[in-house]
Amino acid sequence: MVLLLFVDLDPDLAALRPLGGFFVLHTAGVALRPLPTLAQTYANPPEDPQADPLGRRVRKVADALRAPEPRIAASIAQQGLAARLWSVTLGCAALYGRLPDLDPRLLLWDPEGSAPDDLWLTEVRPLPADAADAADIADAVLRAHLEPLTAALHTRHRVATGLLWGNAGSALAAAARQLDQWARAHGRTDAAVRTRALTAELFAHPLLAATGTRTGTAFRRRSCCLYYRVPGGGVCGDCCFTRPPRSSPRATSG
């Protein structure tokens, strides 16, 4: 029997720092310049493109990757934000046993930044549950963030929803794998056990159940994020393809 150790959330969420950049969440102080909230990011775009955080992120990724079309950059941008949200939330659930309130109105996002300098939580206030379970995590990430983000990118960039949910599954699997490896390497068997249990329950969620297959901590998705279509890109380690497909430019598996 493994004893699960639960501790109170500290104001800096310091337990997340040793896990690496994707798990870190700024909580002290404020950003150097005004930033939009994630709630504003998911909302309908303003008329001014420079006031549109989601559009700015997609353009930033497109420029960095030399993506031949916006939907490719939109896919990669979404997967990166999903990875941040999963990492922070799963990390808190495994190491603290509790979740901070990650309401999109409380999270500031820098569309020009990268992990871990892209997210700020304006206030660390624990959710009322005594111990975070998979349903709490699903509410915090899937319902509050990834559903509106998926809807926005599908509407604005015509990215297939199946592809975007595949990205979400891939990001969850990667976060869980990194957290599990860290916990085992540092003698936190309790955190490793909890990570695996929570991840298994999350992949049973209707939005994630069909995204891929899992064997231990390994994951093989049923869709493709389109990274193979950027110059010099290839297939990812969990891709449904074993080599870049020779399909028409408009073809996807999402």
Judge whether 9 lies within some domain: no
Judge whether 45 lies within some domain: yes
pLDDT digits (tens, 9 = 90+) for 113-146: 988 889 999 999 999 877 889 999 999 999 999 9
DSSP state of 12: T
Judge whether 224 lies within some domain: no
Task: Give mean pLDDT in consecutive 10-residue pieces for the chain, a chain of 254 residues.
Answer: 67 94 83 84 89 94 94 96 97 95 96 90 87 93 98 95 97 97 96 96 97 93 92 89 67 43
Domain count of the fold of the chain:
1
The C-alpha atoms of residue 13 and residue 5 are separated, in whole angstroms, by 16
Q: What is the pTM of this model?
A: 0.92
Judge whether 223 lies within some domain: no
Judge whether 7 lies within some domain: no
Which residues are bridge partners to 108 per DSSP? 37, 120
Helix, strand or coil, per DSSP, at residue 167: helix
Judge whether 221 lies within some domain: no
Cβ neighbourhood burial of 231 (10 Å; 0-12, 13-18, 19+): exposed
DSSP state of 9: P
Cβ neighbourhood burial of 14 (10 Å; 0-12, 13-18, 19+): exposed
Average pLDDT, the chain: 90
Domain span at 176: 14-209
